[in-house]
Amino acid sequence: MDPLRCFLFVPADSERKYQKASGTAADALILDLEDSVNQDNLPQARQMAHDYLLQSRDKLRPQSLWVRINPLDTDLSLVDLAAVMGGSPDGIILPKTFSA
């Protein structure tokens, strides 16, 4: 596996941005369920991320595919994980940390 030098965050609820991002030179695409998705759109975004992961799994693709989930101290993170793990992402990005 080559080193990952460039991560591109992609809103998980935008099909148009998935298409655009897949044509970039980024080493990894981060399907973002945290900041870039309105909570009202989370169910749709989770499904879109899952579907994109499944569709991309069998294709020869230059980027690895990761998913950034919602904060761990909310119920959203477990629902995020349950929705996307069936798509076999290459990794999970933890949400932003606000305090240590």
Q: What is the pLDDT of residue 77?
A: 97
List the CATH number of the domain containing 74: 3.20.20.60
Q: Is 99 within the bounds of a domain?
A: no
Q: Identify the burial level of 67 via C-beta atoms within 10 angstroms of its C-beta, where 0-12 means exposed, 13-18 middle and 19 or more buried.
A: buried
**How many domains does one find in the chain?**
1
The pLDDT of 18-44, averaged and rounded, is 95
Confidence band, pLDDT 50/70/90 cuts, at residue 40 = very high
Fill in the DSSP letter of residue 95.
Answer: P
Phi, psi of 87 (to 5 degrees): -90, 0
pLDDT digits (tens, 9 = 90+) for 66-99: 999 999 999 999 999 999 999 999 999 999 887 7
Q: Is 69 within the bounds of a domain?
A: yes
Q: What is the pLDDT of residue 1?
A: 65
The pLDDT of 40-45, averaged and rounded, is 98
Q: Is 73 within the bounds of a domain?
A: yes
Q: Is 77 within the bounds of a domain?
A: yes
Parent domain of 71 = 7-93
